[in-house]
Amino acid sequence: MNNHTDQHPNMNSTSFTSTSMITAQEMQFDPHHPNFISNPWPIFKYLRENHPIYYHEGLKDWMITRYRDAMPLLKDARLSHNFYYWEYAPPARPIAQQSEFERLMASATFQLNKEDHQRIRKLVLPAFSPRVMDEMKITLKNLCNQLFDEVGTNEIFNFAESVNMGFA
């Protein structure tokens, strides 16, 4: 095992293996840490480059961080996207007891079985055609130009305060 000096604020590093697989005991990675939640990208980059297949013992979860590794798994019929098929998943709660987030996630496209996923994808595909995307690009560019014209020529400004479109 090699001691690793590239530590991130939410990794209480001890030591790392030189192989592509690493466990939570070897790297104390905490996906619930506020630093990770606020900016996960440096950790994902580190894992992708150094430990692309990562097993988190505490979560009983594998993290596959590279596209070329994840795609064959996502297409493998032996595996499921359904969280409740996982051996460590808690029992599914009745719909009436589920949070809005749980209900939303249960019907999210990536959670659907292959047939339903393809049916939904076919329904929404026209909304993402090159023609529609080109029109959307023009609309968004015009909107951005309008908003920045309203802000003025300030070099530095608070975007959330200056460009509030009723979301704050």
Give per-residue pLDDT as tens, 43-95. Answer: 888 889 888 998 888 778 888 999 999 999 888 888 877 777 888 888 888 98
Instruction: State the Cα torsion 35-101-45-66 to the nearest 10°.
Output: 160
What does the domain layout of the chain look like in residue ranges?
A: 1-79, 89-124, 129-162
| Confidence band of 132 (pLDDT split at 50, 70, 90) | very high
H helix or E strand, kind and range, residue 27 = strand 27-29
pLDDT of 111? 76
Give alpha helix (H) positions in the chain. Answer: 34-38, 41-50, 67-75, 100-106, 114-124, 130-151, 159-162
Average per-residue pLDDT for the chain? 76
Nearest of 31, 36, 32, 27 to residue 9 by alpha carbon: 36
* Burial class (CB within 10 angstroms; exposed 0-12, middle 13-18, buried 19+) of 22: buried
Q: Are strands 53-56 and 21-23 parallel, antiparallel or unpaired?
A: parallel
pLDDT of 28? 65
Q: Which amino acid makes up residue 6?
A: D
* Long-range CB contacts (within 8 A, 24+) of 127-132: none
Task: With 0.85 as the threshold, say if the pTM is over it.
Answer: no
Average the pLDDT over 16-31 and give the result: 51
Examine the pLDDT at 3 and tell me if it is beyond 50: no
pLDDT of 135? 95
Q: Are strands 11-13 and 27-29 parallel, antiparallel or unpaired?
A: antiparallel
pLDDT of 164? 65
